[in-house]
Chain A
């Protein structure tokens, strides 16, 4: 399903910083996204886009392939999805090269509680440093 075209309205770039070990990495507060209906979320890895706008290195496709995105709606864990499912960009420059051929996964205007949402990494790795970067399409 393609959800672009005349459906989309706004976009926000969201970064989740990873470091210091641990298996759960929380989203920072997202004032621009508080209480707004979310259309869809996509994600990227180092081999596609090496750095965030602030110059932080993204994590590699291998790290993405073992991670889950957990999104809260109201007080419950509503979506728990492998990060690979959210990749819509192709890179000819190496890495695992996975891509979801269905395009963006529509979220239907969910009101996501960002302060409770997080990225789940399978095992604590003190050497893992960088950032997961998400593209969030939303309406306002």
Chain B
């Protein structure tokens, strides 16, 4: 394990801790949620669409990992001059309240991308553990401090660890 850590050295020496941390999610189901944002949208509050697949699921962790340069499979929102990711905040509704209220998207972004225009900041703490909760997705939303107005239709893509 020690030599593997040296191979995958990160600038913050957190890899070892991250491996240990991820054991909390061993063998757990995982899915992604797309939150669409239309081209030229001036919205600053973007509601999550309903998630039938996750309606009865107990959520253990939420992360924002996918930017245009870490996941090429589909159009996803990307850090650029309009700071779409850095100005985005997530609110998750559970226990009858906005229990996770406006957490910066960067705070739950464990993948740090550091090259050229693909630069995206991230948190060394990684996944937001929510102490298994049934999240009401239709009452959850993303807040933008300024309209993103993307050139094309796009999505924020969130990853969730869950159990049924």
* A interface residue numbers (CB < 8 A to B): 1-13, 32, 42, 44, 48-55, 88-93, 99, 101, 103-104, 135, 140
A54 to B124, CA, bound (A): 25
Question: Given known contacts A2-B17, A89-B106, A99-B12, is B131 in contact with A8 (CB within 8 Å)?
Answer: yes
Question: Measured between C-beta atoms, what is the minimum distance from A17 to chain B in Å?
Answer: 15
Question: Given known contacts A54-B145, A88-B123, A92-B120, is B104 in contact with A44 (CB within 8 Å)?
Answer: yes
- Enumerate chain B residues within 8 angstroms of A10, measured Cβ to Cβ: 99-101
Partner of A8 from the list B17, B122, B129 (CB cut-off 8 Å) is B129
B114 interface contact, C-beta 8 A: yes
Question: Measured between C-beta atoms, what is the minimum distance from B24 to chain A in Å?
Answer: 4
Q: How many of chain B's residues touch chain A, expressed as a range?
A: 35 or more
* B interface residue numbers (CB < 8 A to A): 11-14, 17-18, 20-21, 24, 60-61, 83, 86-87, 89, 95, 99-104, 106-107, 112-114, 119-132, 143, 145-146
Question: Measured between C-beta atoms, what is the minimum distance from B25 to chain A in Å?
Answer: 8
A104 to B128, CA, bound (A): 12
A99 to B61, CA, bound (A): 23
Q: Are A8 and B121 in contact (CB under 8 A)?
A: no
- Enumerate chain B residues within 8 angstroms of A7, measured Cβ to Cβ: 129, 131
Partner of A4 from the list B83, B89, B113, B128 (CB cut-off 8 Å) is B128
